[in-house]
Structures are given as C-alpha cells and as structure tokens.
Amino acid sequence: MTPVQLEIQLVAVLVAVACALPGTFLVLRRMAMLSDAISHAILPGIVVGFFLTHDLGSPLLIALAALTGVLTVSLVELLHRTRLVREDAAIGLVFPMLFSLGVILIARYAGDVHLDTDAVLLGELAFVPFDRLLAGGLDLGPRAAWVMGGIVLLNTLFITVFYKELKLAAFDAGLAAALGFAPAVLHYALMGLVSVTAVAAFDAVGSILVVALMIGPPATARLLTDRLPWMIGGGVVLGAMSAVGGYGLAHLLDASIAGSMATMVGVLFGLAVLFAPGRGVVAAARRRAAQRWTFAQQMLAVHLLHHEGTPEEADESAVDHLHAHLRWPPGFARQVVHRAEQQGLVIRLGDRLRLTEAGRALARHSVRA
C-alpha cells in the first residue's frame, strides 16, 4: 500500500469518527434528518466564505458555514413554533431554499473559480493527498488530516465534558430542563458541532455522505447495544470499518470512494438489522419459532392433564387424534409430540400419550401462570 493510499484512508477514518460522535446523539434524539438539512444548508455559508477567503480549508469559512448550519436549525424551529407547519415540513422547506441560494450564488459569481456544486455535493477523497500542510518547508502530511483530526478532538472534548448533560437530554429532555441543564444551549451547541463537522467533512466526502456517516454507524451500533458508552464506541468503530472497507470497495470497482463508504455503511447496517444478536430480524424470527414450539408443548401437556382420569381419556390422548382435538395440522402435531417425547414431557403407551411427572408439572405451571 502506497503512502498516498494510506493517507486517503487515514482521512476517511478521521471523517467517519468525527461524524459518528455527534451523530450518536442525533440518532438518540430523533433528529437524524437535521443532519441532512444542515449538510445541505451550509452551502451558502461555504460559498460566501469562499468568496471572502478563496480557501476551502480556512477557519473563517468553517466558522461562517457552521453559523449557517445553526441558522438553519433556528429557522426550522422558528417556523415550527408558528404552529403553521409541522416540524418535518419545516425542515423540508428551509434546507432546499438555502441550498438553492447556494447553488445560484455559485452559478452566478463563482463560474471561474474552483468551486462547483458537484464537488460540494459529492466531495473527492482522492484529491486529499494533494493539498498538503507545509510548515517552514516541512511536509506535515495532508491538510485534511489535520483539519479532521482537530474536529475529532473537538467532538471528543465536547462529549467528554458534557457527557452527563448530553446523556440526560437524550433520554429525558424534560428532566434535563427541570434540573436546569439549559437544554436549549446544549441543543444549539450540539447543532453547532454537527455543522462544524459537516463543513469540515464535505470537502472530503460531500454533503450527502456526511449524512450516511453521521446516522449510519450510530444507528447500527444502537442495534447492537443498550449502553451509551458502547453505542458511542461502536459508532466510531463501525464508522472506521466503513471507511476502510469503502476504500477497498472503491479500489476494486475503480469508483467513487465516498459513495463506496456510504455503501459499506449500508452493508453494515443491513447486516445488523438482519443478524444483531437478540433483536435482529433473524434472532426475532428464531425466537418466535422457539416460542411457537414451547407454546405448542404447553398446549399438549395442558390438554393431556385436562383429560387425565376422565372417561374420554382414551380418545383424547390417542396420538392419531391429537391434531383434531388441538386443531393442528397433522404434520405439526407429529413434530410437537416428537419434541415433547425427546424432552421427557410425555411417554408413548401403545397409541396413547401419557404425561410424565415433568410434563404434569409443566401443565400445572402453564395453567396457573
């Protein structure tokens, strides 16, 4: 692997980690679509910042664009608070308007400079190694790595310092407000962080894929754990996996790196949806199947106990008639009996079934419970 490839992957991992950190709280607070709104709506901020600084990496541009992100959130809230539109409609009204403004600004005034909408929307990781940070003639590596590294540090610091407050606001916003944790301040700080991260990352992965990296890995981690620290860590690790895996996929197909990273995010999420232990689709299906057998055996045991010692016992406990009494398909009845025999709940006497002590206990327990 060449140094250039390593550098690209390093930046990709840093972007993924930076996005997963605030993304965790967006997922928990059900504000995932705000990341979509912010990552689009920062465009006019980027454009104005670019006109002023002529440098996509300048701190002033990042600050301006982040301000636009916070402005977006305030506009959405202002609109929502008039009670004339719902919150999701407010989001859907604000960000396309700001994005359109940005596109028009670019088309009208930036025709000749290096800034086009495709780049903002899609990003290009492959160009990252060409923009280097030089200090006194010394090559310190790609500048994007330093910028994203700084963002990772900033996000980590914020989450560490305000961990308790963020946790409380995520799980019980009402209590957080009652205890005087100033949820509004925290909310806007988080939105500012999301904006700063989105601005810093758009150059590398484009604004739409920022959404993939902010929402995908934390939502995947959410499927795997119930503990907040594990969810944050899981989001970070899954994001890094998507970054490295995505780079491999892009290399293989000779296609867009950012697109491949988003694809990997989707693959990991799909795997978690299907196979997450305990709550994946497969685990749930297996649990349901197991419950079906358990319930059927309880039914069988209760049925036999109910007729024990009655005149109809001979008829009711005949193996060949069971399916008719319990209204089961014959094949299903045979399997239930087979399983019950294996577990020592019933024994077969001729053509009749008889409960064992264990079977009787199960039946009594089922009826009582």
Partner 1 sequence: MELFADYTLRMVALGSATLGLVSGALGSFAVLRGQSLLGDAISHAALPGIALAFLLTGSKVPLVLMLGAALAGWLATLAVMGVTQATRVPYDSALGIALSVFFGVGLVLLTFIQKQPNANQAGLETFLFGQAAALVHQDVLTMAGLGALALLGLAVAWKEFKLLAFDAAFGASLGLPMRRLDVLLTSLLVLAIVIGLQTVGVVLMSAMLVAPAAAARQWTDRLGRMVLLAMFFGATAGMSGAFLSSRVERLPTGPTIVLCVSAIVLVSLLLAPNRGLLWRGVRAWRNGRRLRGEAVLLNLYALAVHHDRRDHPHERGVLDAMSPEGPTGPALRKLAARGLVRQVDATRWALTPQGWHRAAQLARERSIAAGPATDGEAAP
Phi, psi of 342 (to 5 degrees): -60, -35
User: Looking only at residues 163 through 182 of this chain, which bind partner 1 when binding is defined by CB under 8 A?
Assistant: none
HSE-CB at 341 with a 13 A cutoff on CA atoms is 12
Out of 121, 168, 224, 336, which residue is the one contacting partner 1 (CB under 8 A)?
121
Binding to partner 1 by residue 73, rule CB under 8 A?
A: no
Q: CA–CA distance from 247 to each of 186, 205, 252, 270, 353 (Å)?
A: 35, 12, 9, 19, 62
Kindly report the three-state secondary structure assignment for every residue of 312-363: CHHHHCECCCHHHHHCCCHHHHHHHHHHHHHCCCEEEECCEEEECHHHHHHH
Type of residue at 13: V
Out of 128, 215, 238, 340, which residue is the one contacting partner 1 (CB under 8 A)?
215
Phi, psi of 363 (to 5 degrees): -65, -45
User: In 3D, which of 33, 74, 204 has the Cα closest to residue 130?
Assistant: 204
Binding to partner 1 by residue 255, rule CB under 8 A?
A: yes
User: Looking only at residues 77 through 106 of this chain, which bind partner 1 when binding is defined by CB under 8 A?
Assistant: 79, 82, 84-86, 88-89, 91-93, 96-97, 99-101, 103-104
Binding to partner 1 by residue 216, rule CB under 8 A?
A: yes
Binding to partner 1 by residue 114, rule CB under 8 A?
A: no
Point out which span in 57-65, 182-190, 251-259, 328-336 binds partner 1 (CB under 8 A). Answer: 251-259
Binding to partner 1 by residue 244, rule CB under 8 A?
A: no
- Report the SS3 class of residue 97: helix
Which two three-digit tokens encode residue 201? 């990352």
Out of 190, 249, 300, 345, which residue is the one contacting partner 1 (CB under 8 A)?
249
Least spacing, CB of residue 95 vs partner 1, in Å: 8
Out of 254, 309, 357, 369, which residue is the one contacting partner 1 (CB under 8 A)?
254
Least spacing, CB of residue 118 vs partner 1, in Å: 7
Strand partners, 138: 135
Least spacing, CB of residue 117 vs partner 1, in Å: 6
Binding to partner 1 by residue 256, rule CB under 8 A?
A: yes
Out of 15, 65, 144, 223, which residue is the one contacting partner 1 (CB under 8 A)?
223
User: In 3D, which of 260, 2, 237, 263 has the Cα closest to residue 129?
Assistant: 2
Out of 284, 290, 314, 347, which residue is the one contacting partner 1 (CB under 8 A)?
284
Q: How many Å apart are CA 93 and CA 87, to the nearest integer?
A: 10
Which two three-digit tokens encode residue 340? 């019950």
Binding residues vs partner 1 (CB under 8 A): 27, 30-33, 35-36, 40, 79, 82, 84-86, 88-89, 91-93, 96-97, 99-101, 103-104, 107-108, 111, 117-118, 121-122, 208-209, 211-212, 214-216, 219, 222-223, 249-250, 253-256, 258-263, 265-266, 269, 273, 276, 279-281, 284
